């Protein structure tokens, strides 16, 4: 995988992680400390509601549905989607699974079949196709899929 793509993907993951940290902070000066995440509340429209177009990208924090703007033809891993974080074109999706090792191998095969160039290790898969960079990380009970579509 070209180093430039890996650096961009890593940067996107760090930015997404920073956004999670910032959104989950609380103000301890008030007696009723609440998470300061107005973007999270606004990011999930009511059932049947149409999203309102805006000039700024929407931010998703701890969403539970796959984003509508995922790259066409991007396969997704088997398992239950438990978390989505990110913004337009840059996301981290977490899928729980009972066998993360098998799920990672199957997902790597699916990415390869979809035309992605892969760089594999036992717990991480990097995949690149055109302007889409994907990094899949295995944990004991989940796969985390970080992606950047430029």
Structure tokens at 1: 């995988």
**pLDDT value, residue 8:** 53
- Which of 61 and 67 is assigned the larger pLDDT? 67
- The 10s digit of each residue's pLDDT in 109-136 is 999 999 999 999 999 999 999 999 999 9
Q: Could you tell me which residues come within 8 angstroms of residue 98 by beta carbon, excluding any fewer than 6 positions away?
A: 141
pLDDT grade, residue 150 (50/70/90)?
Answer: confident
| DSSP string for 74-113 | ----SSEEEEEEEETTEEEEEEE-S-HHHHHHHHHHHHHH
- The 10s digit of each residue's pLDDT in 7-58 is 455 555 544 444 443 443 344 444 444 444 334 334 444 444 444 444 445 6
């Amino acid at each position: 995988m070209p180093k430039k793509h890996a650096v961009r993907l890593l940067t996107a993951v760090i930015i997404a992680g920073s956004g999670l940290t910032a959104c989950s902070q609380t103000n301890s000066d008030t007696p009723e400390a609440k998470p300061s995440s107005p973007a999270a509340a606004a990011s999930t429209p009511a059932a049947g509601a149409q999203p309102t177009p805006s000039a700024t990208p929407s931010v998703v924090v701890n969403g539970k549905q796959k984003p509508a703007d995922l790259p066409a033809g991007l396969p997704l891993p088997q398992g239950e989607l438990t978390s989505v974080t990110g913004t337009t074109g840059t996301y981290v999706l977490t899928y729980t699974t009972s066998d993360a090792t098998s799920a990672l191998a199957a997902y790597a095969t699916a990415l390869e079949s979809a035309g992605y160039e892969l760089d594999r290790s036992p717990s991480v898969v990097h995949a690149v196709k055109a302007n889409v960079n994907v990094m899949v990380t295995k944990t004991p009970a989940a796969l985390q899929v970080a992606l950047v579509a430029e």
